């Protein structure tokens, strides 16, 4: 069973995504902040990080760069409803990091499809 860490400062969104993923056979764990996500990622093994971009404190892109740099997950998928994230994504690209991004609102079928695509090379 593939293990996905869902990170969003909106508890409703994070919990809903976790329920959708669980219904599709994933083991979904929720964190409501980047710092909580980091603690979980250092304590447990996850196949994928699914994170909101705009969160208080550390952004989802900063989190994605950190966990990718430390090889804590094999795949990252970002979510955002804010158009200004393009600047943050460009800064990540300049540092050598490219991430997939889903536009919010995200739809359950789209999330599942994109996760399967992102995990496809290592999907079992």
CATH code of the domain covering residue 54: 3.40.50.2300
Into how many domains does the chain fold? 1
Q: List, in sequence order, every residue forming a beta bridge with 82; answer none if it has no partner.
A: none
H or E stretch including 77?
strand 75-80
Higher-confidence residue of 117 and 9: namely 9
Q: Is residue 88 part of a domain?
A: yes
Residue-level pLDDT at 124: 45
pTM: 0.88
Residue-level pLDDT at 84: 62
- pLDDT tens per residue across span 24-35: 999 999 999 999
Q: Is residue 116 part of a domain?
A: no
Q: Is residue 96 part of a domain?
A: yes
Residue-level pLDDT at 121: 64
Does residue 109 sit in helix, strand or coil? helix
Q: Is residue 90 part of a domain?
A: yes
Residue-level pLDDT at 86: 73
- pLDDT tens per residue across span 67-108: 999 999 989 999 987 766 777 778 888 988 888 888 888 888
Question: What is the rounded average pLDDT for all residues in the chain?
Answer: 90
Q: Is residue 12 part of a domain?
A: yes
Region class of 25: left (phi > 0), else alpha (psi between -120 and 50), else beta: left
Give the residue numbers spanning the domain of 18. 3-106
| Tokens 């990718």 belong to residue | 68
Rg (CA), the chain: 13
């Amino acid at each position: 069973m593939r293990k996905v860490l869902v990170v969003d400062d909106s508890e409703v969104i994070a919990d809903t995504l976790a329920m959708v993923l669980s219904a599709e056979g994933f083991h979904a764990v929720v964190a409501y902040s980047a710092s909580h996500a980091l603690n979980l990622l250092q304590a447990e093994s996850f196949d994928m990080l699914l994170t909101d971009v705009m969160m208080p404190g550390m952004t989802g892109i900063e989190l994605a760069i950190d966990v990718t740099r430390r090889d804590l997950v094999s795949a990252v998928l970002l979510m955002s409803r804010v158009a200004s994230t393009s600047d943050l994504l460009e800064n990540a690209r300049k540092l050598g990091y490219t991430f997939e991004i889903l536009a919010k609102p995200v739809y359950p079928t789209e999330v599942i499809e994109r996760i399967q695509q992102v995990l496809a090379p290592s999907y079992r």
